[in-house]
Chains A and B, each alone.
Chain A
Amino acid sequence: MWTTKTFLTKTKRGNILKIVREHYLRDDLLCGSAACNTCPHKDDELVLETSPDSPCALFDFPHYLVLDTNVVLHQIDVLEEDALTNVIILQTVLEEVKHQNTAVFQRLLDIISNKKRKFYSFVNEHHKDTYIERSPGEKQNDRNDRSIRKATSWYEYHLSINSLDGKFPKIILVTDDENNRKLAQEDGIICCSIKDYIENVSGFVGLVDKLSKNVMPETCSKDALYPAHLTPSQIHEGIRCGQLYQGTYHASRENFLEGNASVNGFEKSILLQGHIGINRAIDGDIVAIEIFPKEEWRKPSNIVLEDKTEDPENILEEETVLLDAAKPVDNDDEITPTGKVVGIIRRKWRQYCGILMPSKFHGATRHLFTPAEKRIPRVRIETRQSEILASQRILVALDSWPRNSRYPLGHLVRALGPIGDKDAENEVILLEHDVPHARFSEAVLNCLPPNDWTIPEEERQKRVDLRDVCVCSVDPPGCTDIDDALHARRLGSSDGLATYEVGVHIADVTYFVKPDTALDKEAASRSTTVYLVDRRIDMVPELLSSNLCSLRGGEERLAFSCVWEMDENANVLSTKFHKSIIKSKAAMTYEEAQIAIDDSSRKDEIAKSLRVLNKLAKKLKKKRLDSGALLLASPEIRFQVDSETHDPIEVQAKKIVDTNSMVEEFMLLANTSVAQKILEEFPQCAMLRRHPAPPPANFDTFLKAARQQGFEIDVSTNKSFSKSLNEAVIPERPFFNTLLRIMATRCMQQAAYFVSGSLAADHYYHYGLACPIYTHFTSPIRRYADVVVHRLLAASVAGAGPHAALLDARRQAALADTLNYRHRHAQLAGRASVALNTHILFKNRVEIESAVVLAVKRNALQVLIPKYGLEGPLYLPSEKFTYNEEEHVQKCGDVVLKTFDELTVRLSLDSSNLQHRKLVFELVEPHVPGFSYVPDAGNMEVDDVADTAAPSSEKTHKKREIPAAAAPKPSKKRKSRRK
């Protein structure tokens, strides 16, 4: 059965500890090759072909490849191409990869599990003939290399002794380690480097471009531009004795030569400036920082600086602009600790979308790549397809950043599509925000019920039948995933007050999405439906989201109901939860519902029930506001989309009617009721949502700005905050209060999902809603958190035992983290999509609009156009304007610009840079001579702008018309309903 040799492995931890582990060596491990006739393979265990065709010109005989760890780690993009097949992945390699980079490890596993790729993972560490022990004094790396060579020669031998006719596949070891290659050759192993191998593979265009150019970054000391990084052991030592600090590097969006790092123990984050100060750190990296002595501390430069240089070879330009601006001033409270990056602890590189910069030389292979994300530096890549790629959005992976290179080195992963093409642009948004958007896999679709599914008899038995109750749904127009419906009816009276029965019915998604199925896993990994302007990326397949789960009018649907008994003052007398069957009487839009309420001639059941709901909702809202809930605002716009091209034609601010808030109130009530119930039942593992109170420091600039307008805002509690916000009204400026609320929103913390067991009870508080406990229950079609809550609630009311994973607090906590991450990125993706469409809208258009100042920067104003909800910088030249740092105002002559001021600006689109097409704001009013734009001369210039934009936009126009029809119908959902 198995051989039982035990081996001792010694490991050292902090204080020296001898750890002895068993290590069983087996003789029943298979080699996975069809050319072998000794291993007792079953048919499905034969992975490697008998006589594979060689794809490589260097080797004209059939062979298998054995890959070294560094090849897998660096060239995973090449491996993911279909070019290489019949590859043996040794367990030694697999373990080293897992240890060093989990993302690459996951990708490697995916390749191995793909049957077509013929990758075989061989457990050489537990095979009796391939296991080797580390010899005394040998480094772990050397042992692993030796183990790889051992396994390679074993394979060769194993296949040769079994071949009868002398024909058997050879084994080729692919490694980039020269030393390893030399030793392998001594052992008689054929080997080559991945570069040599791939360059001789024919039939795969662009494969060479994907080769990672991995240079040992610290070895290139010749012509070094950057100081060397410290070694890991130096960093470790430095951090331990307090000379160095560990932090996450965040590059500035505005200034490519500036960034900061958040470090534990410092209230402010550490400022890092200039090429040397940043020293090749890239946004998100975990870095080691040395902090300068106090007298060298500076303040953030507060200027906007872009990398404008035209492909400079490897020279660092002058940084005087930046450093001048940041000269320390005495007694300045904005001085922040300053330091420099001395080493990288962990790179957090991902793949980046962007475009190639036009090359100066025709036919050059070295190119610069500009990422779409402004915080990422340009990347040097090599490609021979630059002609094709120049007009495409491309995806690039980073490889290394040697000391003598101004930019990091990378390689092409794939092209996404033509620049300006709607699908390509959407793809960029989705990739940049890490939104899973592939089609649903076969396995997922197999979990779906048939298209003509109807409610089975046994479900009817189990559920409460509410089909004859007058239930209706109220949603935005065009909504196809209706996940909530309401009803209300008069019961009687108690204590002289009329009592009502009010029900909220939520689509019963968990009936279809059973735990631990492929569908469930997919939904969990997507976590949320993502709404782009012209596209919806569903969390669950369309059959569920728009049909079987959607509570459409006139159809019988499964629901999870939350039913209250309420008196006419909206006090909840009793609450019950149960699964039910409903038949919605009408699926209305907010406006239809509003009309039904207002139209006093309507006496039907729907109108009556809506009126009751509306009346109760107002009382609920009042109670909520009295307890301190904040009414915040954010500029929200809706695009009117051309039905043919899906291009936006007009923008309007979203209209809010009474019924919006009516639905919202009952959803809030349902969510809080459910939160109480599941917390009571599962104190350790209830999925809840919290909104921490913002730290007072967040409000500093906000309060200063409000004070300039003569308002003192009390932010000590949410109640006082809400009260003083209500009082801050300027009668002649109706927008002022909204603006104040928009700014207040930006001071807030993010709300987050968490598992009840992971925090103390006083942290459950939801600041924005002034609610001691809150969760998400009402949108299971589009949010996975709600699915979890549904399962918890079902387990607590129906007595159906909870599913195993539901009670695993650790797994739930990990899930909550994923949900938060996806949720945040979904929001950002939505905003990015709005920005994209705004740009398309302004492509051939120039407008003069009124605007307000949101913030005053050193060389710009941040302005907001209320009509479009647009925001952007209005640059102010320093020779005309003087910036007062104390007051945060810009002055030019007698014109003073400060926060909350109203301006008139001219809007146009600057398409000169295809990557960052941006809206240009120009000042019109108040008039500053020589700077402000004079509208009279406008006509000519409008034409001008249109002309300059024409060459690029024309091209993209033509291309867009083809794929646009394939895009799914848009469906905007309310997103603002809950914070």
Chain B
Amino acid sequence: MPAADLLSSQGLRLDGRRPNELRRIRCKLGVFTQPDGSAYLEQGNTKVLAAVYGPHQASKSKMSTEAVVVNCQYSMATFSTGERKNRPRGDRKSQEMSMHLRQALTAAIKTEMYPRSQIDIYIEVLQADGGTYCASVNAASLALIDSGIPLRAYVTACSASLGRQSATHEPLVDVSHIEEAADGVCLTVASLPSTGSIALLEMSNRLHMDHFNIVLTRAMQGCRDIEVILDGAVRQHLAEGWTKQDVITI
């Protein structure tokens, strides 16, 4: 249900955004030298690092003869939330996140290219301010591109909620922590915007059927907007001389 007070009477959200505006996204590819691909992404105050290793030979137990095995590990730094976290990884929430990340990323990777191999993706949340899943998917997407693993398309994720301005319902894109905590609904979508397919759809809280479509549409639009930003970042990264690093190592 739409929580009250998410939209002011002037139509601005709590942090001054309009309902259809994303938070500021800043990102950088190739932040580490050790992994095969890496990226850093900020979505407002949510800050995420992603590192990709592989493809390399898979361990015997996991190996598949048909496709590459994608292995994800999501972890949140102990200092990432307002109150200090005790377990950075391995708790229920992190495990669930890892599984969801794997689902979304597997959908983007051309898995059939590397049978009997394995790709490891490590995600570390440095600061959490809502939408950590979205930021993780987006960062991982960049890291995969940085590593040169063939993808079907960009995979991006975005969340959306529902606010109320006087009588009309207005979907809100890219939900921040205060908006999440306001006990409204939060719909998270991971999609491949260029193909229009949805890789993952998750919703917290109950939302009436009547409102579902507008919220989903807004979230999908958010995914497309993010894709444009990521694409710009990749192109800039390449234009800046992706060779720089390689030149040094050669």
Contacts and interface: CB of A to CB of B under 8 A. Distances in A.
Given A22-B23, A22-B176, A516 B209 contact: no
Contacts of A4: 24
Contact of B167 (A112, A126, A516, A810): A516
Interface string B181-206: 00000000000000000000000001
Nearest to A5: B24
A22 B176 CA distance: 9
Contact of A126 (B12, B129, B176): B12
B17 A24 contact: yes
A750 to B, nearest CB: 28
A19 B82 contact: yes
A436 B63 CA distance: 72
Contact of A801 (B16, B23, B209): B209
A808 B1 contact: yes
A807 B206 contact: yes
Contact of A17 (B8, B82, B167, B211): B82
Interface in B119-153: 127, 129
Given A2-B21, A804-B210, A123 B10 contact: yes
Given A24-B17, A811-B1, A6 B178 contact: no
Interface of A (DSSP majority class): loop
Interface in A803-832: 804-805, 807-808, 810-811
B9 to A, nearest CB: 6
Interface string A1-26: 11010100000000001111111111
Contacts of B17: 2, 24
Interface centre among B15, B21, B23, B45 (most CB of A within 10 A): B15
Contacts of B12: 123, 126
B15 A21 contact: yes
Interface in B1-49: 1, 8-10, 12, 15-17, 21, 23-24, 44-45
Contact of B15 (A17, A24, A810): A24
A827 B206 CA distance: 37
A22 B44 CA distance: 7
A123 to B, nearest CB: 5
Contact of B1 (A6, A26, A112, A810): A810
A685 to B, nearest CB: 11
B92 interface: no
A673 interface: no
Contacts of B178: 21
B16 A25 contact: yes
Interface in B34-75: 44-45
Contact of A20 (B9, B16, B23, B129): B129
Contacts of B206: 807
Nearest to B23: A22
B241 to A, nearest CB: 26
B208 interface: yes
Interface residues of B, number: 25
Nearest to B82: A17
Contacts of B127: 20
A795 to B, nearest CB: 12
B9 A112 contact: yes
Contacts of A804: 1, 208-211
B246 interface: no
Contacts of A121: 9-10
B240 interface: no
A109 interface: yes
Interface string A485-502: 000000000000000000
Nearest to A516: B167
Contacts of A123: 8, 10, 12, 16
Contacts of A807: 206, 208
B82 A22 contact: no
Given A112-B9, A801-B209, A26 B82 contact: no
Nearest to A9: B15
A433 B8 CA distance: 31
Contacts of A112: 9
A22 B1 contact: no
A46 to B, nearest CB: 15
A126 B17 CA distance: 9
Contact of B44 (A6, A91, A109): A6
Interface string A786-814: 00000000000000010011011011000
A804 B205 CA distance: 14
Contacts of B210: 804
B100 to A, nearest CB: 25
A20 B167 contact: no
A446 B7 CA distance: 28
10 contacts: A2-B17, A22-B15, A22-B16, A26-B16, A91-B8, A121-B10, A126-B16, A801-B209, A804-B208, A805-B1
Interface of A: 1-2, 4, 6, 17-26, 91, 109, 112, 121, 123, 125-126, 516, 801, 804-805, 807-808, 810-811
Nearest 6 CB-CB pairings of A with B: A804-B208, A24-B16, A126-B16, A4-B24, A808-B1, A22-B15
